[in-house]
Structure 1
C-alpha cells in the first residue's frame, strides 16, 4: 500500500495526505499543500519511494538483530 496520496486542496491545487495519520503530510515542518498537479505527483513518488526504502531497511535491521 502506498502511504502517501493526493487530495484536491482548492481549485486546481493539491495536497499530499499521509494515509497513516490521514493528515496533510509535512516535509521539514512545511505542510505539503497548495501544490500544482505535476509538483504534487513528483513529491508523492519521492515520499512513497523513501517510505519503501525505510520499510525494507527496518526489515534488514530486524534480521541482523536476530542473528
Structure 2
C-alpha cells in the first residue's frame, strides 16, 4: 500500500469510529460504556497513525525534491 492509500484507509476508519461513537451517545445501550471505550481507542489509534503517515509523507516529499 502507498502512503496515500494508508491515509485514506485510516481516515475512513476514524470516520467510521466517530459515527459509531455518535450513535452510541445518542442511543445508549446496556454495553455502551464498553463500546464507547473501544471505539474511542480505535479513533485515537487512527488519528495517531494519520499523524505519523502525514509526517512520513512530508519527509518522503522533501527527499524526492532533493
Query: What's the TM-score bracket when you normalise by the shorter of the two chains?
Result: 0.5 to 0.7
Structure 1: any 5+ residue segments left out of the alignment?
Answer: 14-34
Superposition TM-score, scaled by structure 1 size: 0.54
* Structure 2 runs not aligned, ≥5 long: 1-10
Aligned residues: 44
Aligned to 1:37: 36
- Partner Cα distance (1:38, 1:49) in 2: 17
> What is the Cα-based RMSD across aligned positions, in Å?
2.4
Higher RCO structure, 1 or 2 (CA under 8 Å, sep 6+): 2
Offset at 1:11? 3.9
More helix by share: 2
Q: 2:60 is matched with which residue?
A: 61
From the CA coordinates, give the structure whose radius of gyration is larger: 2
